[in-house]
Chains A and B, each alone.
Chain A
Amino acid sequence: MKHLALCLALLGLTAATPSDSTPHLLQGARHFREGRFSNALVEFKVAQRLGTDGEADWYIAASLVKLGRSEEALEAFAAAQKRAPDARDALLDYYHALACYDVKLYLCADTLLDAVGEASGPRVGEQVLAACFLEEAVRLAGRREDRYRLAEARASLGALSELPAPLVGGGAP
């Protein structure tokens, strides 16, 4: 997703992280934005080893989702939830839902989606952030046979006045 670096910044990525890990988190976000998810994962893992109070775990999990490593992503989400519950966000919940969907944990995916749907309004007021959010919704729904909320997500995406630039590296997972 092209705007994820911006999204990550908006979500307060560097708010309280040790200085050694900050350049790696930012570099990881840059790679993620440009669709280089393997590079992003490596940078986030390096940041994790240097210490980020658990924040990097969320981004490691998101990168694993984009690389199609959903089972590992679920473990990373569980670890992130324990270590840095406050860093959780609606967009990350969508990645979490994608991972749940991939390993056929449909209840988990639906529960996350429902919670995100209820809480998303004020938190995704920014156009770009909303676009990130809805793109993930479209991608997730497109993978389901019942096309859960696909029309709703596409309609919302179409209604945005500022649409994101074409996806880079959006093919995976």
Chain B
Amino acid sequence: MSPGLLVAALLASADLCAPVSPEASADPASAAPYVEVAEAEQAAGETETALVAWHEVLRGDPRHARARAAMKALCREKSATREDGEDAAAALLSGLAFFERGEEASAAVAFRRALAAPELADTASFFLGLLALREGRADEARALFTLAAASSDAGLARRAEELRTRAEREGRVMLSVRLGSEYDSNVDLTPDDTRRRGGSSDGVGLGFAELRLRPWGERGPYARLSGHYRGHLRFTDFDLAGAGGTLGWAWGGPSPRLSAEYGFDFLALGGTPYLRAHRLLVAARAPVGPVVLEASGAVRREDFLDTLFTAYSGWRSTARLDVEWSPTEHLLLSAGWYGGLARVSDASLGFLEHGPRAELRLRLSPGLRLLGEAGYIRRGYQDSVGWRGAASNVPELAYGRLVGGLGLVWTRGLY
């Protein structure tokens, strides 16, 4: 049941205090057992059932003085309670309006008032859970979604259950660990016609860990610390280990959202220092009709620490524009364009690359997602004269590579 219908149903509940229609043939004797029940219920403080019983007494015996007096008193009491219930229903409606307009503080106040009505508590808990989740209060969100998941409204209960699972993965402090393995058909990017004997394919083991801090939830400052390792079975010279840190600030919620961040990355190749990089990134995300547009631009200063590669040191700029569309609740499709420009110490090694990309994310169950991504990039190398050619790669550097892998990701909100 939608919140609006729920409120309407609450406001339209039957009124026991309306005038009583007596039975066609009044029978005071038949009213006697109802009197006993009415008195017992009233003594126990059960207004509703007492009213029902007194109502039945008056149907059988319209002149029953005690029943009339009790009805009058109980209806006065019920009227005050009903006004409270109507207040709660109105609070839920105004909370929904505030929520739609993005006025989250006002929405939270209204939803808390709606919690007072037991009939509305599940819906109000659900929306308070959403607000808590946005603000990074994952523990509170979990508790609220647990309440909403017990709703008799199956749709609301199912959605609350899904969000409860999500809340367990979020919070102000989050730890994410990913383990996996890959097959790489061309580890050292050997040109196709100069393959080394035995090929350069290898098995790869992957490990990644990241700690995320969001003291104010989805908006405000955030920080990430991460480390990763990619180890080969045969070509250990290509083992790659890295660590990095990011500091940033986000404005808005999940969408629209604007964020800016600074990051530092360090990489070691084959056990020796390889690369040190500083990066700046600005990203924006906004709903436009049925889709969400996401754009980002980044610039990165790369310094290679091995003298063999110092000619590659320099600036790399990248830009991305993506469109996201969710045709169903479980499916997300995105498509976009990527572009990158490298200006390095040796001008002939600089390049411009760009191309389309597409991605599919299918949620199979709350903890399991299927991801698919495809892209095509054209790269043109630069020399002192100008672009060598934009339509094809340098033939001597052409190579083929296929990588496929499987991984497991575990994420948990720690606080």
Contacts and interface: CB of A to CB of B under 8 A. Distances in A.
A46 B157 contact: no
Contacts of B150: 139, 142-143
A39 interface: yes
Interface residues of B, number: 21
B56 interface: yes
Contacts of B149: 142
B37 A45 contact: yes
Interface string B145-187: 0100111100001000000000000000000000000000000
B127 interface: no
B52 A39 contact: yes
A145 B161 CA distance: 11
A167 B152 contact: yes
B199 interface: no
A81 B202 CA distance: 71
A68 B119 CA distance: 12
B34 A142 contact: no
B152 A42 contact: no
A139 B34 contact: no
A145 B53 CA distance: 37
Contacts of A50: 33
Which of B40, B41, B51, B52 neighbours the largest number of chain A CB atoms within 10 Å of its CB? B52
B21 to A, nearest CB: 15
Interface residues of A, number: 19
B56 A42 contact: yes
Interface string B47-58: 011011100100
| Most B-side CB within 10 Å, residue of A50, A139, A170, A171 | A171
A41 B38 CA distance: 11
Interface in A116-173: 139, 142-143, 145, 167, 170-172
A50 to B, nearest CB: 6
B10 to A, nearest CB: 10
A171 B49 CA distance: 17
B36 interface: yes
A38 interface: yes
A46 B57 CA distance: 11
Interface string B30-74: 000110110011000010110111001000000000000000000
Contacts of B37: 42, 45-46, 49
B152 A38 contact: no
Interface in B117-148: 118-119, 146
A57 B207 CA distance: 63
A45 B149 CA distance: 33
A167 B146 CA distance: 21
A170 B146 contact: no
A42 B49 contact: yes
A32 B41 CA distance: 18
A42 B53 contact: yes
Interface string A37-61: 0110110011001100000000000
Contact of A49 (B36, B51, B52, B157): B36
B52 A170 contact: no
A38 B119 contact: no
B52 A38 contact: yes
A145 B150 CA distance: 9
B24 to A, nearest CB: 16
A143 B148 CA distance: 9
Contacts of A67: 48-49
A143 B152 CA distance: 10
A112 to B, nearest CB: 19
Contacts of B119: 171
Interface string A17-46: 000000000000000000000110110011
Given A68-B118, A171-B118, 11 more contacts: A39-B52, A42-B41, A42-B56, A45-B37, A45-B40, A46-B33, A46-B37, A49-B36, A142-B149, A142-B150, A171-B119
27 contacts: A38-B48, A38-B49, A39-B52, A41-B49, A41-B52, A42-B34, A42-B37, A42-B41, A42-B49, A42-B53, A45-B37, A45-B40, A46-B33, A49-B33, A49-B37, A50-B33, A67-B49, A68-B118, A69-B46, A142-B150, A142-B157, A143-B150, A145-B146, A171-B118, A171-B119, A171-B152, A172-B118
A-B interface, 9 closest residue pairs, ranked by CB to CB distance from nearest: A170-B152, A46-B33, A142-B150, A45-B37, A38-B49, A49-B33, A143-B150, A38-B48, A42-B53
